[in-house]
């Protein structure tokens, strides 16, 4: 394997492979293996079986959804697969004479594999990292995988190792990194990396897949036509042209007819042109008429300025007359003061006192008249007579006292009503807050388990030192199959209590039982101690059993126990008709009517059958 030197010089546009890494892929075992490309062309050399095709297949698996592995080495179809590369199967051997050969693997189902390619665009100074993580769900069959795209530099040693036995821990770690996206299937992953690389057509990746390990081309024309050109629906277009020939012929006839008709319409066009010229002339005359307004306004302005000048001259003359009048007024006021002093010396002070008393009495009369008018106005608004005498005034006072008492009683009743409404408002607000909290809780979780019981489990796990995933509710691990959605309401009504039961493994049983015993729960809690159980007897289930319509979370540790419990306790026949319902010993209808052992029937319609909150 040769490693190229890092290029220098001008910045190269486009994303180029900078580094390729792999862990636990084929015979590349345990360690992280890497290939530095630095964006240049690279040459892989080595002996037969040294792993050249393995590296090429790993890079192809990162970019193409379906790969014919080891094609570069001339291998037959199906010789290598994702499964053989994941488990590291490198040969087959016979255990005993007469037995078929078995593959020998480097790794077991407890390992995981990672493929990682880092691309760099020198012109834009941007990094893009593509990665795939493989892990085994069983010892046989192809491994499961998820896809990673990051707009930054990632490496297997730093970001894809040291996370423990649970692959979900790696998922959480990667989701916590900025500029990292995770995908569960190839199509959205492929669209995302093609969008970053500027690859508009998916066919380009098919061409890449065909040419990455090509040794010979038989017919170059056929190869270009099949892999490099977009398919063209020529035959459909020819058939469409033949089918629309008559339409084109009719359209040609209509065009000829339209030209013939245009000849008759030409005089009308000439009249329209003449009308347009007349309209333009009218518009010009209208503009002239509009221009008259500013012309007359200019004339008027000149006249007004002349008028303003004459008025200013008149104002100056009036100002001189006012100044003379002021001088005369000051002289006469001096004479008035002299006369008043002479009157005072001859007994005139008493006259001034009488004048002041007259003015005070006049003001007092006006004030009382205003108060009387206000009283009469308010009396009329209160449906009382005007106070023309003392008896009417006293009668009005008595009526006002009685009306005031009645008004105070009404005010007290209104206050009581307001208090009751305030209490109701607080109760409704409390209900609203509870519903809002429940909605916020539903936004943060995938199941419909009530918020109160989820909070109870959360408190328990904090006190006994367990994660919430280790104490699941049965309802969190069960789901009505998509093809049985019409039975969802009836099934969830029947399994409601079982679904809200807590599942406790035997090693956690002592701590859970002790905490429940010493804690006031403030509610009801049901939990099951999960021990080793035998496999469920599916042969004894009814052909239309409710159990067939329920899916159990496959990776759950409680799968076998839940499978056995459902088969033992909920072997209810799902009946489409009442005749079938009456015949079965245990049955349920879509409307939610349940028939149990001992001919016990039940139908609970306190809530709608499609109520998602239940």
Q: What is the pLDDT of residues 448-472, one digit of tens each?
A: 788 788 888 989 999 999 998 889 9
Residue 33 lies in a domain: yes
- pLDDT at residue 146, as a whole number: 93
Residue showing tokens 């409307």: 591
Residue 233 lies in a domain: no
- Looking at the structure, do residues 435 and 456 belong to the same domain, yes or no? no
User: What is the pLDDT averaged over residues 393-416?
Assistant: 84
- pLDDT at residue 213, as a whole number: 58
- pLDDT at residue 5, as a whole number: 47
Name the domain count of the chain. 4
Please give the Cα distance from 461 to 329 (Å, whole number): 103
- Looking at the structure, do residues 393 and 457 belong to the same domain, yes or no? no
Ramachandran assignment for 383, one of left (phi > 0), alpha (psi -120 to 50 degrees), beta (any other)? left
Report pLDDT digits (tens) over 320-354: 899 889 989 998 988 888 887 777 777 656 677 77
Query: In this structure, are strands 527-530 and 550-552 parallel, antiparallel, or unpaired?
Result: unpaired
Residue 229 lies in a domain: no
117 forms beta bridges with 20, 130
- pLDDT at residue 543, as a whole number: 87
Please tell me the pTM assigned to this model. 0.38
- CATH number for 185: 3.40.1140
Query: In this structure, are strands 573-575 and 587-589 parallel, antiparallel, or unpaired?
Result: parallel
pLDDT at 79 over 50: yes
Backbone angles phi, psi at 359, to 5 degrees: -65, -40
Q: Give burial (CB, 10 Å; 0-12/13-18/19+) of 478.
A: buried
- Looking at the structure, do residues 320 and 458 belong to the same domain, yes or no? no
* 3-class DSSP assignment, residue 139: coil
Percent of the chain residues past pLDDT 90, beyond the cut: 19
- pLDDT at residue 608, as a whole number: 83
* CB contact burial 336-350 (16+ within 10 A = b; e otherwise): eeeeeeeeeeeeeee
- pLDDT at residue 55, as a whole number: 85
Report pLDDT digits (tens) over 301-327: 999 998 999 999 899 889 989 988 998
pLDDT at 229 over 60: no
Residue showing tokens 């057509």: 201
Q: E-assigned strands of 39-111?
A: 89-93, 102-105
pLDDT at 225 over 70: no
Residue showing tokens 């994660």: 467
Domain-terminating residue out of 414, 444, 474: 444
Contact 478, 552 (CB under 8 A): yes
Contact 591, 575 (CB under 8 A): no
Domain-terminating residue out of 141, 164, 199: 199
- pLDDT at residue 352, as a whole number: 72
Residue 235 lies in a domain: no
- Looking at the structure, do residues 59 and 147 belong to the same domain, yes or no? yes
Confidence of residue 47 (pLDDT cuts 50, 70, 90): confident
- Looking at the structure, do residues 288 and 325 belong to the same domain, yes or no? yes
Confidence of residue 226 (pLDDT cuts 50, 70, 90): low
- Looking at the structure, do residues 136 and 256 belong to the same domain, yes or no? no
Q: Which residue has the higher pLDDT, 94 or 178?
A: 178
For CA atoms 515, 516, 517, 518, give the dihedral sign.
positive
Please give the Cα distance from 33 to 148 (Å, whole number): 19
CA 553 to chain centre: 26
- Looking at the structure, do residues 432 and 530 belong to the same domain, yes or no? no
Domain-terminating residue out of 410, 444, 478: 444
User: What is the pLDDT averaged over residues 159-175?
Assistant: 88
- pLDDT at residue 1, as a whole number: 42
Residue 10 lies in a domain: no
Backbone angles phi, psi at 385, to 5 degrees: -70, 155
Residue 582 lies in a domain: yes
Contact 414, 441 (CB under 8 A): no
User: Other C-beta atoms within 10 Å of 511: how many?
Assistant: 15
- Looking at the structure, do residues 86 and 133 belong to the same domain, yes or no? yes
Record the tokens describing residue 375, joined without a space: 């009283």
Contacts of 108 (CB under 8 A, 6+ apart): 87, 136, 139
User: In terms of Cα–Cα distance, which of 575, 523, 507, 582 is closest to 545?
Assistant: 575
- Looking at the structure, do residues 183 and 141 belong to the same domain, yes or no? yes
User: What is the pLDDT averaged over residues 122-149?
Assistant: 88
> Which of the listed ranges 383-397, 431-445, 505-519 does the model predict with the highest average pLDDT?
505-519
Average pLDDT score over the chain: 83
* CB contact burial 155-168 (16+ within 10 A = b; e otherwise): bbeebbeebeeebe
* 3-class DSSP assignment, residue 113: strand
Q: Give burial (CB, 10 Å; 0-12/13-18/19+) of 494.
A: buried
Residue 614 lies in a domain: no
Residue showing tokens 């002479």: 342
pLDDT at 107 over 50: yes
Please give the Cα distance from 261 to 430 (Å, whole number): 80
Confidence of residue 83 (pLDDT cuts 50, 70, 90): confident
Record the tokens describing residue 467, joined without a space: 């994660």
Residue 269 lies in a domain: yes
Please give the Cα distance from 213 to 69 (Å, whole number): 10
- pLDDT at residue 200, as a whole number: 80
Confidence of residue 504 (pLDDT cuts 50, 70, 90): very high
pLDDT at 367 over 50: yes
Confidence of residue 441 (pLDDT cuts 50, 70, 90): low
- Looking at the structure, do residues 101 and 184 belong to the same domain, yes or no? yes
Please give the Cα distance from 370 to 364 (Å, whole number): 10
- Looking at the structure, do residues 547 and 461 belong to the same domain, yes or no? yes
Domain range enclosing 580: 451-602
First-to-last C-alpha distance (Å) of the chain: 63
- pLDDT at residue 4, as a whole number: 46
- Looking at the structure, do residues 273 and 147 belong to the same domain, yes or no? no
Report pLDDT digits (tens) over 181-215: 999 998 999 899 888 888 887 777 777 777 765 54
User: In terms of Cα–Cα distance, which of 154, 148, 152 is closest to 131?
Assistant: 148
């Amino acid at each position: 394997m040769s490693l190229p030197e890092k290029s220098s010089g001008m910045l190269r546009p486009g994303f180029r492979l900078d580094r390729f890494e792999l862990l636990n892929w084929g015979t590349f075992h345990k360690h992280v293996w890497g290939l530095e490309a630095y964006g240049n062309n690279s040459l892989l050399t080595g002996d037969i079986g040294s792993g050249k095709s393995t590296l090429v297949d790993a890079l192809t698996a990162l970019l193409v959804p379906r790969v014919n592995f080891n094609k570069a080495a001339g291998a037959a179809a199906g010789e290598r697969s994702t499964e053989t590369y994941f488990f590291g199967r490198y040969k087959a051997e016979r255990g005993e004479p007469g037995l078929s050969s078995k593959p020998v693997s480097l790794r077991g189902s407890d390992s995981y594999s990672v493929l990682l390619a880092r691309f760099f665009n020198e012109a834009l100074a941007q990094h893009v990292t593509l990665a795939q993580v493989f892990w085994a769900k069983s010892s046989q069959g192809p491994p499961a995988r998820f896809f990673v795209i990051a707009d930054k530099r990632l490496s297997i040693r730093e970001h894809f190792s040291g996370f423990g036995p649970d692959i979900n821990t790696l998922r959480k770690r990667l989701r916590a990194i900025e500029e990292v996206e995770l995908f569960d299937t190839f199509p959205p992953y492929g669209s995302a990396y093609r969008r970053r690389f500027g690859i508009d057509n998916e066919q380009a990746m098919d061409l890449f897949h065909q040419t990455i390990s090509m040794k010979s081309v038989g017919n170059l024309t056929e190869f270009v036509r099949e892999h490099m050109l977009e398919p063209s629906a020529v035959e459909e277009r020819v058939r469409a042209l033949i089918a629309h020939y008559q339409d084109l012929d009719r359209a040609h006839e209509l065009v000829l007819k339209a030209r013939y008709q245009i000849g008759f319409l030409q005089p009308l066009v000439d009249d329209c042109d003449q009308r347009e010229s007349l309209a333009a002339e009218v518009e010009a005359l209208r503009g002239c008429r509009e221009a008259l307004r500013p012309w007359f306004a200019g004339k008027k302005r000149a006249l007004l300025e002349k008028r303003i000048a004459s008025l200013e001259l008149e104002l100056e003359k009036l100002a001189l007359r006012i100044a003379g009048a002021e001088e005369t007024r000051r002289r006469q006021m001096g004479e008035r003061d002299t006369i008043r002093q002479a009157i005072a010396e001859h007994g005139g002070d008493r006259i001034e006192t009488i004048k002041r008393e007259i003015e005070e009495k006049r003001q007092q009369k006006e004030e009382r008249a205003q108060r009387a008018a206000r009283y009469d106005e308010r009396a009329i608004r209160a449906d009382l007579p005007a106070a023309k005498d003392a008896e009417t005034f006293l009668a009005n006072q008595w009526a006002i006292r009685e009306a005031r008492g009645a008004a105070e009683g009404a005010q007290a009743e209104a206050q009581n009503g307001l208090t009751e409404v305030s209490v109701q408002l607080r109760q409704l607000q409390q209900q609203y807050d509870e519903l809002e909290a429940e909605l916020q809780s539903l936004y943060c979780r995938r199941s419909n388990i009530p918020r109160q019981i989820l909070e109870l489990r959360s408190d328990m796990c904090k006190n006994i030192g367990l994660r919430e995933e280790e104490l699941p509710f049965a309802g969190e691990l069960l789901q009505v199959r998509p093809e049985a959605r019409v039975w969802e309401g009836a099934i969830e009504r029947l399994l409601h209590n079982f679904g809200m039961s807590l599942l406790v493994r035997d090693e956690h049983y002592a701590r859970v039982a002790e905490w429940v015993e010493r804690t006031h729960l403030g509610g009801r809690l049901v939990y099951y101690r999960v021990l080793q159980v035998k496999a469920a007897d599916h042969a004894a289930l009814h052909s239309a059993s409710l159990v067939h319509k329920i899916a159990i979370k496959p990776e759950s540790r409680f799968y076998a126990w839940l499978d056995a419990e459902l088969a033992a306790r909920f072997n209810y026949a799902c009946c489409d008709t009442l005749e079938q319902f009456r015949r079965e010993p245990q049955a349920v209808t879509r409307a939610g009517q349940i028939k149990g052992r001992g001919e016990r029937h039940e139908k609970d319609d306190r809530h709608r059958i499609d109520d998602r909150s239940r």
